[in-house]
A and B are shown apart, each in its own frame.
Chain A
Amino acid sequence: MGSSHGPRKKPFVQAVLWGAVSVAMYYMLLTNQEMLNGTFARGGLYALLPIVTAFAFSIVHGSFTGHFWTVFGVEASKKKKEAK
């Protein structure tokens, strides 16, 4: 652990973990295309399936992409975080 004055530790582990879950979800999406097309496009209350899926992907993949950029040193400006 670095001292409190040192640079913040990069979230490498989080990026790898969220990335692994994201890759697994995309793998399932692409290997079950026929089943997904058949079920998700049935209409009616099946409409909840694409909505819930979109939320799940946004949380998992969104967390991954956030950590991904941080690991690569791409972060918001430290001076102008509150830019009205």
Chain B
Amino acid sequence: MHDIAAQAANFIQLDTATILYLFAVGFVGGLVSGFIGSGGAFVLTPAMMSLGVPGLVAVASNMCHKFPKALIGSIKRAKYGQVDVKLGVIIGVSAEAGVLYGAHIQEKIKAAYGDAGSNLYVSVAFVVILAIVGGFVMWDAWKTYKSGDTNAEEKKSPLAVWVQSINIPGTMVYFKSMDAKISILFTLPLGFATGMLAATIAVGGFIGVPSMIYVMGVPSMMASATELVIAFVMGLGGSFKYAMHGLVDIRLAMIILAGSLFGIQLGAMGTTYVKPYMIKVVMGSIMTIVLFSRALMVPVYMSQLGLIATIEDGTMKMMKDVSFGIMIFALALGAFIVLRAMYVGKQEEKRAIAQEGLIHG
């Protein structure tokens, strides 16, 4: 960890434009998180860094806004019966261990290959994981849409059926979200992987939610809501760890929280208007678009490491700007889909109520 005094001195000056910018990004990030259980961090951390915030302070401050946001989001979604607290806490705690291990690997890579090496590792991990998991989520959502039966109850994947059929005495725990018992020996490594990914690419939910859906057989509505409990547990532990090193800029965290709490309420309410496969649509879309953003940065870091020919400074800056622009587009698109789905759902509900009134009136 960096020197505490040096970090505190590095806390940026805040002006009105900066405050409004963080509030707005926080709002959109919160909106998406309320809906799919995660998201926002991949834009918030670079957004803070673009304002001159040191990387570690940006990560720490993002985490310190994440856990209170996830707390409010999970309470809201629990009211709709979508949260499995037991599953969230169990995965959250094992994810915390994954975060520590992931951070340890990051430090080793940084020590061996420097900043560019560490960035290259993060970007390649991002691209590979998002291509596989994001591609699968998109394909699954597309399959449901094409089937024409988007109202049908979600079918458990063959893997989830197998996982739920395995009985390892002494390790079985009942989870209401699956309405089944599964061995804790499955949940622990999945939580660990979620945490490791969170420490590496800052968005653990991109693996947490799909693993709950496809490996454990949790319905997507409940998986995305339970992810908020995981984010709370992980965020709380992570924030404390960073705060012990004096890395949290409470002003940044609370300003982002100001916007994100408006957003997360809206996103959580949005889930009550949509069909479950919309969770996969939003998540898959964001994941696949963000993939391109990170892929664009791979040659930049490879060039910095001397693995390919040097890229000119002007071109490099352009690639970084385009990459950041794509990430903002991914988040904005996610927010647009959520708001549109909510609007359409509300109109349909109004029509249904009016029709009911006509029949009974």
Binding site for B on A (CB under 8 A): 26, 29-30, 33, 36-38, 40-44, 46-51, 53-55, 57-58, 61-62, 65-66, 68-69, 74-84
B236 surroundings in chain A (CB, below 8 A): 51
The stretch that binds A, out of B65-73, B205-213, B305-313, is B65-73
Would B239 and A83 count as touching, CB distance under 8 A?
no
Q: Given contacts A43-B245, A54-B239, is CB(A81)–CB(B80) below 8 Å?
A: yes
Q: How far is the CA of A65 from the CA of B243 in the complex (A)?
A: 27
Would B272 and A41 count as touching, CB distance under 8 A?
no
Q: How far is the CB of A78 from chain B (nearest CB, A)?
A: 7
B258 surroundings in chain A (CB, below 8 A): 26, 57, 61
Q: How far is the CB of A83 from chain B (nearest CB, A)?
A: 5
B245 surroundings in chain A (CB, below 8 A): 43
Q: How far is the CB of A45 from chain B (nearest CB, A)?
A: 8
Interface size on B, residues (CB 8 A): 53
Determine if B203 is an interface residue (Cβ-Cβ < 8 Å): no
A43 surroundings in chain B (CB, below 8 A): 4, 243-246
Q: How far is the CA of A23 from the CA of B162 in the complex (A)?
A: 52
Would B14 and A83 count as touching, CB distance under 8 A?
no
Would A81 and B81 count as touching, CB distance under 8 A?
yes
Kindly identify which residue among B11, B68, B75, B243 contacts A57, using a CB–CB cutoff of 8 Å. Answer: B68
Label chain B's interface by main secondary structure: helix
Q: Return 25 A-B CB contacts under 8 Å, by A number.
A: A29-B254, A36-B251, A37-B11, A41-B11, A41-B247, A41-B249, A43-B4, A44-B244, A48-B243, A50-B239, A50-B248, A54-B68, A54-B239, A54-B257, A61-B258, A65-B261, A69-B265, A69-B266, A76-B269, A79-B349, A81-B79, A82-B82, A84-B81, A84-B219, A84-B221
A74 surroundings in chain B (CB, below 8 A): 266, 269
Would B261 and A61 count as touching, CB distance under 8 A?
yes
Q: How far is the CA of A29 from the CA of B249 in the complex (A)?
A: 11
Residue interface bits B20-55, CB-to-A below 8 A is 1, else 0: 000000000000000000000000000000000000
A83 surroundings in chain B (CB, below 8 A): 80, 82, 221, 271-272, 276
Q: How far is the CB of A68 from chain B (nearest CB, A)?
A: 7
Q: How far is the CA of A78 from the CA of B350 in the complex (A)?
A: 10
Would A51 and B243 count as touching, CB distance under 8 A?
yes
A-contacting residues, B74-116, CB 8 Å: 75-76, 79-82
Determine if B166 is an interface residue (Cβ-Cβ < 8 Å): no
A78 surroundings in chain B (CB, below 8 A): 349, 353
Would A50 and B80 count as touching, CB distance under 8 A?
no
Determine if B253 is an interface residue (Cβ-Cβ < 8 Å): yes
Q: Given contacts A37-B249, A77-B345, is CB(A58)–CB(B11) below 8 Å?
A: no
Kindly identify which residue among A33, A65, A80 contacts B272, using a CB–CB cutoff of 8 Å. Answer: A80
Determine if B136 is an interface residue (Cβ-Cβ < 8 Å): no
Kindly identify which residue among A30, A42, A81, A82 contacts B4, using a CB–CB cutoff of 8 Å. Answer: A42
A-contacting residues, B338-361, CB 8 Å: 345-346, 349, 352-353
Q: How far is the CA of A47 from the CA of B238 in the complex (A)?
A: 11
Determine if B222 is an interface residue (Cβ-Cβ < 8 Å): yes
Determine if B329 is an interface residue (Cβ-Cβ < 8 Å): no
Across the two chains, which residue of chain B brings its CB closest to A53? B250
B186 surroundings in chain A (CB, below 8 A): none
Determine if B240 is an interface residue (Cβ-Cβ < 8 Å): yes
Q: How far is the CA of A65 from the CA of B352 in the complex (A)?
A: 28
Q: How far is the CA of A28 from the CA of B63 in the complex (A)?
A: 22
Kindly identify which residue among A33, A61, A66, A77 contacts B349, using a CB–CB cutoff of 8 Å. Answer: A77
B161 surroundings in chain A (CB, below 8 A): none
Determine if B7 is an interface residue (Cβ-Cβ < 8 Å): yes
Q: Given contacts A78-B349, A83-B221, is CB(A55)–CB(B246) below 8 Å?
A: no
Determine if B262 is an interface residue (Cβ-Cβ < 8 Å): yes
Q: How far is the CA of A75 from the CA of B275 in the complex (A)?
A: 17
Across the two chains, which residue of chain B brings its CB closest to A22? B258
B80 surroundings in chain A (CB, below 8 A): 76, 81-83
Kindly identify which residue among A29, A68, A75 contacts B250, using a CB–CB cutoff of 8 Å. Answer: A29
Q: How far is the CA of A57 from the CA of B248 in the complex (A)?
A: 15
Q: Which 3 A-B pairs have the closest CB atoms?
A: A58-B68, A47-B243, A43-B246
